[in-house]
Amino acid sequence: MIGRLNHVALAVPDLAAASAFYRDTMGGRVSEAQALPVHGVTVAFVDLPNTRVELMEPLGEGSPVAAFLAKNQAGGMHHICYEVPDIYAARAQLVASGMRILGDGEPKPGAHGNPVLFLHPKDGFGTLIELEEVR
């Protein structure tokens, strides 16, 4: 079911500072910041030869990333994202096997316009897993 690693997401308290670090210190190519109100975050991506790193800061106090940063003030790894060829087939297979989908269970558009779902971290051995349908 899962395909390639799409990205590793890091929650950061200051997106501009994190972007500058990855661009200026690490020599990475960093995208412009993009607000994603449906997910409660502002993101930027660091493009790597084999994957991407997503830098996320909270967009508003109700953001799930704000809750994460309240517990991890310096930031840290938030989730890992795998590609799937069909998000609805993946969801059906996962739900049938007992996995819990976060939110209302319906795919939402991610940063690149592709549908995404998040799996409950307790079902992923303590890791929040995002699935993204990449066409």
Q: Residue 56: which of 31, 37, 78 has the closest Cα?
A: 78
- The answer to whether residues 52 and 22 touch, using CB atoms and an 8 Å cutoff, is no
DSSP, res 75: -
Give the torsion through C-alpha atoms of 91, 58, 50, 112, to 10 deg: 60
| Active-site position among 54, 57, 83, 130 | 130
Cα 65 to Cα 79: distance, rounded to the nearest angstrom: 11
57 is catalytic: no
Please list the active-site residues: 130
